[in-house]
Amino acid sequence: MDRIDVTDVAALRLLAHPLRRRISEQLRHGPVSATSLAEALGESTGLTSYHLRQLAKHGFVEEVPELSAGKERWWRPVPADRRYPPYSRQTPEMREVSAEIVRDNLAEVVELYEEYEGKATDLGPWADAFVFSRASVQVDLEQFKEFFEDYLRLVERYSAPSPGDSRKTVLLRLFGFPQS
């Protein structure tokens, strides 16, 4: 997967927008059109169309020509390993936007867990797929970077679709920071 360092503050702001985060969530389930998004999100097609074009302008989504017909355009995410620059290379404005994105993502994790918890009894054996680990490691900075790259390779290894099996999307979140 291509690695892209997101250094443009405008692109970061784009990702921080609440509706665009909701659009990104919908895109995880497959291609979308402005109309299908509007219905799923309770927004107008004009608004969802505008936001899709903005995401495309910055390379986060692309048109799916084989699904598009007439004026209806379908969109899919552009797969990439997107990363923010390290803290030391971020401008104060980037730090502000990055922190907003992280806080919003942490709030989303809480919401997603509460949704899981409310529906766990309906998931059958998949209810047992909840895992939790709190850990700390003693590493130097280079070892920590290696740990993170190993994690990403592991995620990619298990991300390849396999048609006709009983796999389900499992949400993973990893965050790490030095204890102060």
Give the burial class of 13: count Cβ atoms within 10 A of its Cβ; 0-12 exposed, 13-18 middle, 19 or more buried: middle
**The domain containing residue 30 runs over which residues?**
3-124
- The pLDDT-based confidence of 26 (bands split at 50, 70, 90) is very high
Q: State the Cα–Cα distance between residues 31 and 150, nearest whole angstrom.
A: 29
**pLDDT recorded at residue 167:** 82
Q: Let me know: does 58 contact 10? Beta carbons within 8 Å.
A: yes
pLDDT for the residue 27: 92
Is 99 within a domain?
yes
Beta bridge partners of 33: 74
The span from the CA of 62 to the CA of 56, in Å, is 6
Q: Is residue 38 domain-resident?
A: yes
pLDDT in tens, 45-92: 999 999 999 999 999 999 999 998 888 899 999 988 899 899 999 999
How many domains does one find in the chain? 1
- Decide: pTM greater than 0.75: yes
Interatomic CA distance for residues 62 and 84, integer angstroms: 21
Domain CATH number, residue 48: 1.10.10.10
Residue 165 lies in a domain: no
pLDDT band at 19 (very low <50, low <70, confident <90, very high): very high
On whether residue 108 sits in a domain, the answer given is yes
| Each residue's pLDDT tens digit, 129-176 | 888 888 999 999 999 999 999 999 999 888 877 766 778 888 888 888
What pLDDT shows up at residue 3? 86
Identify whether 157 is part of a domain: no
Residue 139 lies in a domain: no
Confirm whether 52 is domain-assigned. yes
Q: Is-contact 83 6, C-beta < 8 A? A: yes
